[in-house]
């Protein structure tokens, strides 16, 4: 199991910004695909952003132009701008080994990921 620890969730007003972080102390980013998912009450978990095997960011249509995924040697980040009430959810970091290509929208499928964090809550009020 790859330990993933999310942080940065908070309560903000619509139009505000947050930056989520995901730390994986035993993790080598070159060996794993990384992504962000979210789950709202009563809804299925959905892919938000990922970095695919071509090194390109992939985003859900609902967050394009507002969210940015990035990473450094120690953390995966999700910069969230222009937040909307519908962005309210628990946000999860996910990872899986780079044993096959994972490109485009496939990188946002939750069944592609084996390792999950505990999540960090984001609440956006109108």
Closest CA to 46 of 109, 115, 1: 109
Residues 6 or more apart in contact with residue 119 via CB below 8 angstroms: 6, 9, 39, 90, 91, 92
pLDDT tens for each residue of 49-101 = 999 888 899 999 999 999 999 988 778 999 999 999 999 999 999 999 888 88
SS3 label, residue 75: strand
pLDDT tens for each residue of 39-52 = 998 999 999 999 98
- Is residue 59 within a helix (H) or strand (E), and if so which, with residue range? strand 57-59
SS3 label, residue 112: helix
State the chain's mean pLDDT as an integer. 92
Under 8 Å between Cβ of 46 and 102: no
Under 8 Å between Cβ of 111 and 44: no
- Mean pLDDT across the stretch 6-27? 91
């Amino acid at each position: 199991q790859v330990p993933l620890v999310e942080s940065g969730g908070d309560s903000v007003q619509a139009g505000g910004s947050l930056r989520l972080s995901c730390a994986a102390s035993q993790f080598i980013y070159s060996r794993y695909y990384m992504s962000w998912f979210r789950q709202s009450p009563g809804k299925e978990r959905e892919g938000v952003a990922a970095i695919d095997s071509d090194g390109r960011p992939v985003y859900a249509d609902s967050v394009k132009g507002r969210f940015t995924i990035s990473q450094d040697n120690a953390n995966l980040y999700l910069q969230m701008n222009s937040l909307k009430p519908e962005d309210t959810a628990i946000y999860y970091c996910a990872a899986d080994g780079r044993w096959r290509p994972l490109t485009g929208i496939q990188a946002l499928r939750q069944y592609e990921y084996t390792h999950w964090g505990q999540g960090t809550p984001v609440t956006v009020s109108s």
